[in-house]
Amino acid sequence: MTTLSKFGSWAQSHRWIWSALAVLLFWGVLSTVTNRFSVASLSGIFLSASFLTVAGIGQMFVVTTGRGNIDLSIPSVLTLNAYIALLTVRGQDANLALGVLVALGVGLAVGLFNAALVVRLKVPAIIATLATGYVLATATLLANRSIHGFAVSPTLKFLAAGRVFGTPIMLLICIALIAATEFVLQRTVYGRTLSAVGQSRAAARLAGVAVDRVITIAFVISAMLASFLGLVLGAYVGGAFLEMGQPYLLQSIAAVVVGGTLIFGGSATAIGVFFASVLLILLVTLMQIMQLPPGSQDMLQGVVVILVLALAGRDAIRTTITRGAGFSHQSSRQQGASPT
């Protein structure tokens, strides 16, 4: 086996490597062409990517459950919790614990509600979470009317924008989240059952997996991470506004699929979500340097997602055909060997 074929085999089980290589390539091209990128600017890009990674990892859990599940309520959860932080914390660290508990409580309630719609009422995840997003958007409008100031907790501000030895604290939080997520995916029972549910719910049920509980936990994780992101992002920007979560609708999905998580479920990579987030931030930065209008930026990001989904779909079909052929061949051999 040649070195190239060994690398190909290794890359199949470590799909995040492609987004990592794309980041290096894209960074090199931008540094050469624009002369605006340096190690110092890389720190800012990592900071922005850390925020996106938090939303992307939550989205990743939902996507991994399979059947095209996507959480479209993430932007609304994020925005609502940014307002909740302003209303409950009121810029005082003494109220921070209350604000965090309320925000995470909202995330828990939203996750359970989304899961109930999908698991119990059998509503498609895209429709269920979109409807939830509209409900939360109405709640955000009501919260917006109650805002009388934009005081931010100093502790939250430090977590969102502070640095330790030049490294953004949010990046350190992001790395800890990635490590914890990879541990859950690779080393825990829930990670293995999540993969099993994403690959085949029927087979998972026959194996004794509590499928509904696995899916519910995925939606709860997504909503609670979006709630946490709302807290720190609101502190980072110094307040809240009605459309602050909107960029994370498309970008959270893009970070998942570009990072190597299978859009059809069954396999996930938190490391890939991070590298894809860095790649997307680099792409957005380039478009801003080129002074492209926001509509064109969204269109270009959409094209990237469509291309990745098309490639992922082709690979999934090829894998399914290969597995089916192998299964048929094995069945034929078993039938031939059985006594008549």
Q: Mind listing the pLDDT tens digit of every residue in the chain (340 residues)?
A: 577 677 667 767 777 788 888 888 878 777 776 666 666 677 888 999 999 999 999 999 999 999 889 999 999 999 999 999 889 998 889 999 999 999 999 999 999 999 999 999 999 999 999 999 999 999 999 998 888 777 888 999 999 999 998 899 999 999 999 999 999 999 999 999 999 999 999 999 999 999 999 999 999 999 999 999 999 999 999 888 988 999 899 899 989 988 989 888 888 999 999 999 999 998 888 787 777 787 777 788 778 777 766 665 555 545 444 444 443 444 444 444 444 3
Per-position b or e across 92-123, b if 16+ CB within 10 A of its CB: eeebbeebbebbbebbeebbebbbebbbeeee
Task: Give the separation between CA 257 and CA 261, rounded to whole angstroms.
Answer: 5
The HSE-up count of residue 334 (CA atoms within 13 Å, CB side) is 6
Q: Give backbone dihedrals phi and psi of 62, rounded to 5 degrees, phi first.
A: -65, -45
Cα–Cα separations (whole angstroms), residue 99 to 85, 86, 102, 265: 6, 8, 5, 34
Residue pair 269/11 in contact (Cβ under 8 Å)? The answer is no
DSSP per-residue codes, 212-253: HHHHHHHHHHHHHHHHHHHHHHHHHHTS--TTTTTHHHHHHH
Residue-level pLDDT at 27: 81
User: How many other CB atoms are found less than 10 A from the CB of residue 302?
Assistant: 12
Residue with tokens 């094995």: 330
Residue-level pLDDT at 292: 79
For residue 65, which of 251, 249, 265, 260 has the smallest C-alpha distance? 265
Residue-level pLDDT at 309: 64
Element (H, E) at 168: strand 167-168
The SS3 call for residue 2 is coil
Tokens of 232: 């720190």
Tokens of 16: 């995040």
